[in-house]
Structures are given as C-alpha cells and as structure tokens.
Structure 1
Amino acid sequence: MKKILSVVALALVPFLQYSTAYAQYDPKAREILDAMSEAYRQIGSFESGFSYSMENTDQSINEDFEGEIAVKGDKYRLRMGGQEIINDGSTVWTYLQEVNEVNIDDYDPEEGDISPTQIYNAYKRGFKYNYLEDETIDGKAYQVVDLVPENSDNQFFKIQLHIAEDDRTLKKWRIFDKNGTRYTYEIDNFNPQASVTDDLFTFDSSNYEGVEVVDLR
C-alpha cells in the first residue's frame, strides 16, 4: 500500500543497465505526457476503481488487491486492502481497518513521494522519458512511455505508463523496483463526471467507532 503513496517503494541486471542506457528526453514521449497532464488538468476530479498487484518471483511474492479512489485537484481518498488513505493537500490520514487505528501526518510533497494526484505530472521533474510502443488492450489503442529517474540512487529504476490514445487518460502503470519487485496499477470504471466534494477528503473519526488516533505530526 505504501507504494501508492510512494513510488519509491524485475530487477534484472541486464535490463536495468539497458533502461539506464537508453533513457532520454524523447520529444514524442514528452508530447504524449504533456497531453496526458493537460487531460487530467481539465478533468479536475474523478472517481475510479483499480486493481493492484505486487510480484517478486525470487521472493515468491504475488499479491493482488482491488480498490477505489477519488481525486479532486491535489486531494485524494484511496481505499484498498483494508486500508484508507486520505490526503487533503496538507494532512494525510492512514486508517488501518484490522486494528481500527488511524495515523495522522503532515503531507510533504518535497519528500519525493508520488501520490495518485502527481503520477500524471511526475515526468516534469527528475525523470527522463522514452516512447516505447503502441499497444492494444481490449480493442483500445494505448501508447507506452517509460520514465527513468535521473537520480540513479532511487529505489526504483523505471515507471512504465500506458496512456489511452483517444482521451489521454492513464490506463495502467508499472513500477520496477531494484529489489526485483514489480508493482502494477490498472484503472477501471473511470468516471470523470463524478461529483466529488471537499468533505470526502477529511477523516471523520465519528464514523469509526472506537478508533485509536495516532497523531505523528
């Protein structure tokens, strides 16, 4: 779950070396990414479902979850795997259903985390980008773009975006970690006409009977 909030969290050595070597500021990739960013800027708010998987063959890890997300500007509310993460742009609440506990922390966009509201603009700072290929998923055309961190000390070595050719929305993205783990997020039931109000992005403890509040600020 932490990986949704923090992208920093397949490491095949030859592939890693290849990814670093070919990374560039590809003008075709930049055109695709700019169009995606503009599409989400115009949408403003949306709701969608998504699936998430984490795979690491060497460690015999294969986990799958489904979740829901609502986004409005810099704010989001994410539900997945018995957890909720709520960010109002300044405060982050992380609710753990299993122990009925919520952790409260300040949101600091300068920490290097990439939130669900930033994935569409992440390429603008700290990444090289490269157009990879066109592909078809369920009869719909997508363009695949790789983002490679400029800083080789990052825990991950690549983010791969699958962007719809018609409306420039993001269908799927994969994060490739140096420890061999691959994280995949795939969007479904995308609703750009959703009515999303600001009160959705605040944790109301009265709705969680007996919840333990841990304030980390």
Structure 2
Amino acid sequence: MKRKAMILNGNIKMRLLAILLLLALPLMSQDVEDIIEEVQDTYEDMDNFTAAFKRVESFKLTGTVSETTGKVWIKEGTKYRFESDEQQVITDGKTVWSYNAINNQVIVDRVRTESGALLPRDMLFKYPKEYFSTLLRTEKEDGKDIFVIKLTPKGKVTGVVKSMKIWVQDDNWLIKKIEITDLNNNSTKFEISNIDTNTRLSDDLFSYKDIPGVRVIDMR
C-alpha cells in the first residue's frame, strides 16, 4: 500500500512538472521574441556603427581553422565596409566591391538578395522572420547578462546559412558575437568589440577607391 502511494505521488509530481514545463514554453518563446525586438529597435535607430572584430573560420572537411582581425563600419543598415589585412568588402547598398590583396583583384557586382550573402540588415530583420528563434542560455560577462540565441530555418534553406547563433548584451541590446554554420557544416565566428555608435560616418567610406595595378572583374 505504501509503495502504491509512493508511485502515485511520483506520478503526480511528474505530471505537475510536465504541466509547469508546458506553461513555461510560451513564456520562453515570448522572451526570445522580446529580445530580438529590442535588438531590432536598437539597430533600427542606429545610423552609424563602427567596431573591431575577430573572425574565426573552421572548415569541417579539412579540419583547418583560420583567424582574421579587422574593422567594420555600417551605416543605415545597408551600407557597410569590412576591412582586414588581406581583404576589403565594401557596399553602398547597390554595388559591392570585394578586394583581395593576395589575388590582387577586386570583384565588382550588384548587391543581390538571392546570393545568400549575410548583410547586416538581413541578420536583424530577414532571418528572425524566416528562422525559428530559441533562447539557449544566459551567460555572464563582466557582470552583465549575455543572451545566447539560436536561429534555425522554418523551411527549406534558400541561402547558405544553415543556422546561426547570436550573443546579445542585456543592458544595451548590442550583438557581441555571431556564429554562422553553413550547409557544409563549416562555421564562422565573429567576436565584436570596441563598438562605437556615435561617430558620424561619411558616405565616401562606402565606395571603393581604385588601387593602381589591381585587376578589376566587373560582374554587373
């Protein structure tokens, strides 16, 4: 009799736990949507963004890892400039210039929405609509909460991004880190630091300046 009572109590506890978990699911879902909305509002109101970054690329097939450091400038969400020692990627929102110092060439093309390229505005507005958002955990950094959010596609992947994780700082809703996994399970991680949103950026910064001797390949 005592054993039956223990089993009954155990079953009741399990059912109560299941009910509590089910009740918590909408709350957790709402929380992550609120976080993404806060991030979107922050960047929507931001005209200028400058930061240093470290990019780490890991290639699944070969097991190789490469690391790059540089700087990024973003204006109005559609104009950006990415610079490292070996590469420049610049767009004014219509044309994109990709300069590679090793190959001594620059490829000029139109900004193509179907290319699968990760544009700053896509990450903030396109992907949250087309991908499921999950709050994985909350981390601590310098006493501040950092939300780790994973984005996975709702349907068939149309670009090259299989999934994405973003690290969002609680007090200012700025993205501190991004991890992108492509269809071949290669990963690219960006760590973002020295963020400046106050310095006004000139439009000239988002136009490529010809470098003598560099081969130009125009794909437009």
Q: TM-score, normalised by structure 1?
A: 0.81
1:175-214 deviation digits (Å, cap 9, x = unpaired): 1234332211110111111220101111121xx1222211
| Separation of aligned partners in 2, 1:110 and 1:182 | 21
Structure 1 vs Structure 2 CA RMSD: 2.1
Counterpart of 1:54? 57
Q: Distance in 1 between matches of 2:53 and 2:70?
A: 5
Residues 211 and 59 from structure 1, CA distance in 2 versus in 1: closer, same or farther, beyond 3 angstroms?
A: closer
Determine whether 1:175 maps to 2:180: yes
Alpha-carbon distance change, 100 to 147 in structure 1, aligned in 2, over 3 angstroms: same
Structure 2 match to 1:126: 130
Inter-CA distance 76–156: structure 2 relative to 1 (3 Å threshold) = closer
Alpha-carbon spacing, 1:171–1:108, altered in 2? closer, same or farther (3 Å): same
Q: Is the 8 A contact 1:101 1:213 kept in 2?
A: yes
Query: Can you list the C-alpha shifts for 1:128-150, whole angstroms capped at 9, x where unaligned?
Result: 11111111124332111111012
Q: Distance in 1 between matches of 2:164 and 2:85?
A: 23
SS in 2 for 1:121: helix
Q: How does 1:1-217 map to 2 (within 5 A)?
A: 26-56=29-59, 59-73=62-76, 74-153=78-157, 155-205=160-210, 208-217=211-220
Q: Secondary structure at the match of 1:176?
A: strand
**How many percent identity over aligned positions?**
26
SS at match of 2:193: strand
8 Å contact kept, 2:116–2:161? no
Q: Which amino acid aligns with 1:216?
A: M
SS in 2 for 1:166: coil
**Structure 1 runs not aligned, ≥5 long:** 1-21
Structure 2 alignment gaps of length 5 or more: 1-24
Q: Which structure is higher in helix share?
A: 2
Q: 1:29 to 1:93 in 2, by over 3 A?
A: same
Amino acid at match of 2:86: G
CA distance in 1, matches of 2:110, 2:183: 28
Alignment check: 8 A CA contact 1:33 1:123 kept = no
Count the aligned residue pairs: 192
**TM-score normalised by L of structure 2:** 0.80
1:30 and 1:66 mapped to 2: Cα distance? 31
1:6 corresponds in structure 2 to none
Q: Describe the SS at the equivalent of 2:199.
A: coil
SS at structure 2 position matched to 1:67 = strand
Higher relative contact order, structure no. (Cα contacts within 8 Å, ≥ 6 residues apart): 1
C-alpha separation between the residues in 2 aligned to 1:103 and 1:179?
24
